[in-house]
Amino acid sequence: MMDMVQTAAVATANAVLPGSGVIVNSAFELGKVCSEIAQLLTGMQETASSIKTQCANIEKDVAYFRWVLEVLGRVQHKHKLTTELQKLITRFETEVKEYDRVMEKFLEQNILKQLVFHNDLDAASASVKETAGQLV
């Protein structure tokens, strides 16, 4: 529809003032570019919102993991814990280290890649949360 309007406007402009159709055509093209920029900026706003949510979730995860590690650090006489519980604690500590590794790799990526490739971080977080839930 826009192309038909644009063509008609250019033809009318040329009929009224020969050669002015180029200016009208340029104005239409500029309008299209501005529309595309507006769509891009709208997408960036949504992306920014996603990033804020993701950062908030990461902060909550890290605070929770620190708390669990702090509680585990206060446990006295760890050698008296059952073998199964000791294994679970070791597993949790290993998973937290893996989460840290994935987080470092994640933070090295640009923002767009972070939005696309956050699954590894989510999986590491879920694994640590599951183990922490068994401990707490």
> What are the pLDDT digits (tens) for 28-58?
787 777 777 777 667 666 666 777 777 788 8
3-state secondary structure of 24: helix
Rounded average pLDDT over 12-35: 77
Output the average pLDDT for the chain. Answer: 79
Interior CA angle at 37 toward 30 and 4, to 5°?
Answer: 45
pTM exceeds 0.75, yes or no: no
Residue-range definition of the domain harbouring residue 120 = 2-135
Total domains in the fold of the chain: 1
Say if residue 92's pLDDT is above 70. Answer: yes
What average pLDDT does the segment 82-99 reach?
A: 86
Distance, CA of 20 to CA of 25 (rounded, Å): 9
